[in-house]
């Protein structure tokens, strides 16, 4: 797949931001006492969102300004072969609101925070695949 240098630059920016969110999530999970699981989950959601937007950008698929992972996922061209279960994305998707804003939400557990990070890494893994990456790899 031939990709213009401009698109590659934008893809790398999306991926760089996603990597920062994932790194923040993983680093914060190391906190032993009073760990902010909501913050971990928020950054996990942000990482997944940005990896999906990187893939859409790479494949020249315009997307709306949204934080909805299932919407972004549904826009993926079949040739990418993105096989992340929607249930996994739904777990991470809920963290955008629940972890960001106050409200009557259940507390997020360590297990949920770990699962959120694991599910976000599934999106990262697809970016890493040569067939998904095209010429935009690091």
Task: Give the span between the Cα atoms of 40 and 113, in whole angstroms.
Answer: 6
Q: Contact, 43 vs 24, CB < 8 A?
A: yes
Question: What distance in Å separates the CA atoms of residue 61 and residue 99, rounded to the nearest whole number?
Answer: 29
Map tokens 């990597």 to a residue.
Answer: 19
Record the tokens describing residue 118, joined without a space: 């694991």
The one-digit pLDDT tens for each residue of the chain (138 residues) are 788 999 999 999 999 999 999 999 999 989 989 999 888 888 988 998 999 999 999 999 999 999 999 899 999 998 888 888 888 787 777 777 666 667 777 778 888 888 877 777 777 766 554 434 444 444
Domains (ranges, CATH) in the chain?
5-133 (1.20.120.330)
């Amino acid at each position: 797949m031939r990709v213009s240098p401009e698109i590659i630059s934008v893809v790398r920016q999306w991926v760089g931001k996603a990597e920062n969110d994932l790194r923040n999530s993983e680093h914060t999970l190391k906190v032993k006492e009073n760990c902010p699981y909501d913050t971990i989950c928020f950054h996990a959601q942000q990482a997944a969102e940005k990896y999906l937007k990187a893939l859409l950008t790479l494949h020249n698929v315009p997307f709306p300004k949204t934080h909805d992972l299932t919407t972004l996922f549904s826009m993926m061209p079949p040739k990418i072969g993105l096989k992340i279960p929607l249930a996994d994305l739904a777990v991470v998707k809920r963290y955008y609101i629940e972890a960001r804003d106050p409200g009557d939400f259940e507390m997020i557990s360590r297990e949920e925070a770990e699962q959120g990070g694991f599910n976000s890494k599934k999106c990262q893994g697809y970016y890493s695949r040569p067939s998904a990456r095209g010429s935009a790899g690091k």
